[in-house]
Amino acid sequence: MNWRVKLVLISVTIPLIYECFKLGGLYFRQTELEQSYALRSSVLRSKYDDELKKRYVFELETEMKLSSHTYDNNALNRRRDKNAARGYQRENATLLMLVRNMELEGALDSMKSLEDSFNRMYHYDWTFMNDVPFSPEFIEATTAMASGRTQYALIPSEDWDRPQWINETRFEEALNTMEEDGVLYGNSKSYRNMCRFNSGYFFRQKILDDYDYYFRVEPDVRYFCDFPYDPFRIMREQQKIYGFVISLYEYENTIESLWDAVSEYIEKDGGHDIDMNSNSYNFLTDKSKIGMYEPVTGSHSDYNLCHFWSNFEIGDLNFFRSEKYIKFFEHLDAKGGFYYERWGDAPVHSIAVALLLNKDEIIHFDGIAYEHQPFNTCPISTTLRMDQRCRCDIADEHNIGITPHSCLMRWWKNGSGKSFLREDN
């Protein structure tokens, strides 16, 4: 072989040998990195393994208090068992959505989020309501998304549309004034129909007659974590009537005369249905400083504007069907404030349950992480977030938690929950 050929072979071979050594080094480094990842994963898996955590908690001589907002002492003992719902006896309850055909994509997003985090284990019914007939496309898509049975209801006109006794001239003037003042949904007629329907008529729909509980779901919401329990069962076992996740302040320019109507009703009731010794009246009226925070918004009445955000609510339908609630609603409805102003169902529900229920009949579902734009909630505890497979950020600027515009701390003080805040009262 002549020397020129040898030279060519050497020039080709040397780079190949170099690349082989280089790739070999990369392989060993990659293998080492993968091994370190595997070790780290194993450590984390052991750290957060349900059985180990459960054994650790039970071995403690004193109760462990999580660094979180939860007041469930057994939060870490609730196992995420994939087989837990096999043969499960569901509660007499339904998932309920008031939705329009045009909101199909948002409805499907909400359904998928709730199915993945909760209902795939339990298969509760889905009930959909609309003031116009549902389209075949809507029915087909939502039926395919649901793990449980689906049913659809057309709301009667007399339950949805503006009542004839509303003064049309005054109503139109109110729309124009609120639009000029930049009030949220101030010029919307359909929004007012929705608020009145959710306040006084949703529970009267025949399709709900056979149910005891409902879980309100809206389009375009998210549930960030696996549910640590069946909230319907919690409602029944703990004898709760109303459950919420987020509490915040209402816009006063939408409910300027609402508290006047409420005060009038309290006086008219004379203690028959409203027990000031056991209810949550102080939650509605306490304007004191709590911790570092004064109320972030002032009001011109005794009402501090705190309410439960009703886009997430779990409730006992028998309460809303009761004579005491219907009397309360009809008193408010007769004032015309749903149309002459823009009373929302959130303050109406909140004031009703705060006045008419024992404070211990209301529950804050602090174990459920939820988002309805622009606000969300997320568990503070790292262990809880990992245990419930959460996909949320506690540092998110929209996490309302115990921020100044949240009323949660007022609920802890004046309602049911953080009892240590009430020990000196």
Positions annotated as catalytic residues are 313
How far apart are the C-alpha atoms of 218 and 98, rounded to whole Å?
Answer: 7
Strand-pair category, 125-130 with 150-154: parallel
Contact status, residue 227 vs residue 118, Cβ threshold 8 Å? yes
Give exposure, 281-308, as e/b (b: 16+ Cβ within 10 Å): bbbbbbeeebeeeebeeebebebbbbbb
Q: Using CA atoms, how far apart are residues 168 and 143, in angstroms rounded to an integer?
A: 40
Amino acid sitting at position 178: M
Taking each helix axis as running N to C, give the angle between helix 258-269 and helix 323-333, from 0 to 180 degrees, rounded to the nearest 10.
Answer: 140
Tell me the C-alpha distance between 9 and 15, whole Å.
11
Residue 133 one-letter amino acid = P
Report residue 218 CA to chain centroid gap.
10
Taking each helix axis from N to C end, the angle separating 345-356 and 189-200, rounded to the nearest 10 degrees, works out to: 20
Q: Are 76 and 106 in contact (CB under 8 A)?
A: no
E strand residue ranges, 352-403: 362-364, 370-372, 375-376
Dihedral sign, Cα of residue 59, residue 65, residue 68, residue 74: positive
In terms of residues, how long is the chain? 425
Nearest one of 402, 424, 403 to 69, comparing CA atoms: 402
- Nearest to 53, CA basis, from 79, 85, 82: 79
Helix (H, G, I), strand (E, B) or coil at 72: coil
**Residue 374 preceded by cis peptide, ω within 30:** yes
Find residue 96's DSSP bridge partners.
127, 216
Closest CA to 118 of 243, 242, 228: 228
Separation in Å, CA 286 to CA 229, 258, 267, 410, 424? 32, 17, 19, 8, 16
Q: Which two tokens stand for residue 109?
A: 């997003």
